[in-house]
Amino acid sequence: MAKDSEMLVKVENVSKVFKLPHEKLSTVKQHFVNIFNPKSYEKFKALDSVSFEIKKGEFFGIIGANGSGKSTLLKILAGIYQPTSGKVTIAGSLSPFIELGVGFNPELTARENVFLNAAILGLSKKQTEEKFDQIIDFAELREFLDQKLKNFSSGMQVRLAFSIAIQAEADILVIDEVLAVGDSVFQQKCFDVFYKMKKEGKTIIFVSHELGAVRDFCDRVLLMQHGKVKTIGAPNQAILQYLKLNSESEEQKLTTSKSKNEKSIINSVASLDATGARKNVFDFLEDMVFEVKLNKLGKKSINFGIAIYRADNTYCFGTNTLLDKIKITSKEKFRIKYTRPNLLPGDYYLIVAVFGDTDKQILDYKEKVLTFKVFGSGFGEGVVNLKHSWETHE
Amino acid sequence: MKKTNLLNLTLQLALTDFKLKYSGSVLGYVWSLVKPLLLFGVLYVIFTYFFSLGKGIPNYPVYLLVGIMFWAFFAEATMSGMHSIVSRGDLIRKINFPKFVIVLSAITTSLLTFALNLVIIFVFLFASHVIPDYHALLILPLVFELVVFILGLSLVLATFFTKFRDFSHIWEVVLQVGFYAVPLIYPVIFIPEALRWVIMLNPVTQIIQDARWSLISQDVLTTWKMMGMPLAFLAPTIVVVIFVFGLWFFNISAKSFAEEI
């Protein structure tokens, strides 16, 4: 960031409390009848003293689980809601919408909707006319100009909406979840637009669940949790923390369901990093260690098998002590270490099994005993990044 | 948003509503003419043949028509102005822009229908050989006054309506009473003298009587004729006061509309 970069958006201690009445009073009679009864409502704190700043020319990402307060925060930034306490200062103009295609009417044609939507976004008729061709060409909807919008697919509608939205004249652009719909070709077009905007030094607030895009574009990322700011920082750091938050809650689920099964041999499986610290989210370049604890089972000799599956049930890799010709010496605890497994970023789970002298004699079998994520810039397609190098001959 | 862009937005919203109102119907815009004409036809038959109210009034058909068209505009515009904020809730919850535009655009939609109805009035005037002279130009400031009055009332009503849905019914009743409390179908002289000044102070009465005066005959009894000079400004003053109050009341409430509705 340049030294003279000015603060464009300044959010200071913003809180937002919603009063959720148990029974909404919306007629005079109801109010009259209820004059003597104390009104009953629940207070819900959607935002809890949120503070942050956005500099000029910054690509600022906001991530967080559903219900973490992202939308409320955006609505306050856009001026749709008023904060209960705290202050929002915005130098310059901010695109006032938080959703694409606001005011689109299915009964109107694409052409009419362009003019209506552009007017809602604050464009004059002349400006819209000047940009009309650009909008239609970007959306690739020229043949459908005079079709009613209700005959459009949802992807076509989003394309049209996005094309208009990027024409809105504002110093700060808010982009909320545009990548959720639309095919990969259109997504690529959106990315190109983002790159261009970034180059032009536009200030953009980007809200998305598409973590890859957040990582690629954002300069800084704000992670929201339960209406509070959890972290503001470099994209990688914030995303990693977000993924951890998610997997923590998953792990809790797993341990509770396990305790019921007392007879089982496998007590628990944990994922660790190379130093032995518990970890559910691995960087692409990291070593992975799984620690298995067994319930006491006397002198029986056992073998152990472990398989890594991707979330879409692709079998990635499996091995067992029989194949590797290993004897489990400790009957309580042992580890298996994968050095640089090179698994591509994604969600994975483990299946583990304990068996006797042959793999037909299954003593215990646990599906999805543990889930973990791989994150980072693992380029390539498929399941793993096989170690490779290129040689060219002239 | 720039002022010119706000104007564009108002027009876009108004035209869209106007288009959508008649989309899917075969006769389309014709319906906006048929409805008041039908009411006019029924009232005309009843009050000329059964009650012979109109006997004392020269050119009773156009006299009645002017009254009904102006009243229909007033009733429809205040109703849709009142509902506008709530019915545009999806917009208000997703985008921040001056809410005033929504009320204004709803009224503009009604104004478009009224403009078509004015054409009908002129057709009827010529058909009944009442040729308007330069007095007819007064119709423009009168329509302006009526729009300002409607806007003021709508701003107040729309704000109340976000909190109390009763206002839809309350206003309906007020309009029903108003239909008879304003001398639309009967001449002013039918009103008992003690009540007459109250009725004549109503800005709607003042506007309709002035419109009849300017279009049909300068013999029509108007508010200013009855009240004399300083008091003649009372009705327009009421319009301005309601408008200013409406603006103020609407603006202090508008910030919380997104959460209320």
Of the given ranges (A2-16, A150-164, B14-28), which has the lowest mean pLDDT? A2-16
What pTM, to 2 d.p., does this model score? 0.76
ipTM of the complex: 0.82
Closest Cα in chain A to B18: A108
pLDDT(A380) > 80: no
Amino acid residing at B196: R
Average pLDDT over residues A70-96: 87
Q: Which residue has the higher pLDDT, A58 or B238?
A: B238
Distance CA A221, CA A236 (A): 9
Q: Please, is B27 exposed, middle or buried when counting C-beta atoms within 10 Å of its C-beta (0-12, 13-18, 19+)?
A: exposed
pLDDT(A4) > 80: no
**How many residues can be counted in chain B?**
261
Of A255, A363, A245, A374, nearest in space to A301 by CA: A363
Q: Which residues contact A80 (CB under 8 A, 6 or more apart)?
A: A96, A98, B92, B93, B94, B95, B96, B258
| DSSP H helices in chain A | 28-33, 70-78, 110-120, 125-139, 154-165, 184-199, 211-217, 235-258
Of A280, A259, A249, nearest in space to A348 by CA: A280
What SS3 class is residue A245?
helix
Average pLDDT over residues A314-328: 87
pLDDT of residue B141: 96
Average pLDDT over residues A78-92: 89
CB-CB under 8 Å, B4 with A124: yes
Average pLDDT over residues A99-107: 84
pLDDT(A257) > 60: no
Is B91 an 8 Å CB contact of chain A?
Answer: yes
The alpha carbon torsion through B170, B173, B175, B180 (nearest 10 deg) reads: -150
Distance CA A205, CA B190 (A): 67
Answer for the pair B89, B261: CB distance below 8 angstroms, yes or no.
yes
Is A376 an 8 Å CB contact of chain B?
Answer: no
pLDDT(A272) > 80: yes
Answer for the pair B241, B229: CB distance below 8 angstroms, yes or no.
no
pLDDT of residue A260: 45
CA distances in angstroms from B109 to A109, A178, A266, listed in the order given: 19, 33, 73
Is A123 an 8 Å CB contact of chain B?
Answer: yes
What SS3 class is residue A36?
coil
- Strand A41-55 to strand A7-21: parallel, antiparallel, or no bridges (unpaired)? antiparallel
Answer for the pair A223, A64: CB distance below 8 angstroms, yes or no.
yes
CB-CB under 8 Å, B95 with A96: yes
Of A174, A13, A9, nearest in space to A84 by CA: A13
What SS3 class is residue A178?
coil
pLDDT of residue A182: 64
pLDDT of residue A15: 93
Is B25 an 8 Å CB contact of chain A?
Answer: no
Low-confidence ranges of chain B (pLDDT < 50): none
Q: Hey, of A24, A26, A77, which one would you mutate to test binding to chain B, going by the most B CBs within 10 A of its CB?
A: A26
Of B223, B205, B211, nearest in space to B138 by CA: B211
pLDDT tens, position by position, A122-142: 888 888 999 999 999 888 888
Of A183, A270, A113, A204, nearest in space to B20 by CA: A113
Ordered DSSP codes for A87-148:
EEEESS-B--BSSTTTT--TTSBHHHHHHHHHHHTT--HHHHHHHHHHHHHHHT-GGGTTSB
Distance CA B230, CA A187 (A): 69
Distance CA A312, CA A371 (A): 12
Answer for the pair A230, A245: CB distance below 8 angstroms, yes or no.
yes
pLDDT(A262) > 60: no
Residues of B within 8 A of A79 (CB-CB) are: 96
* Closest chain A C-alpha to B255 CA, distance in angstroms: 7
CB-CB under 8 Å, B166 with A28: yes
CB-CB under 8 Å, B8 with A125: yes
Distance CA A206, CA B2 (A): 26
Q: Which of A228-232, A389-393, B59-63, B206-210: highest mean pLDDT?
A: B206-210
The phi and psi torsions of A341 (rounded to 5 degrees) equal -65, -15
CA B21 to chain centre: 19
As given in the structure block, the two tokens for residue B230 are 């300083």
Q: Which residue has the higher pLDDT, B248 or A204?
A: B248
**Mean pLDDT estimate for chain A:** 82
Ordered DSSP codes for B96-128:
---THHHHHHHHHHHHHHHHHHHHHHHHHHHHT
Distance CA B122, CA B132 (A): 8
pLDDT(A251) > 60: no
Q: Percent of chain A scored above 90 by pLDDT?
A: 14
pLDDT of residue A259: 44
Average pLDDT over residues A203-225: 85
Closest Cα in chain B to A120: B9
Of B108, B91, B102, B100, nearest in space to B251 by CA: B100
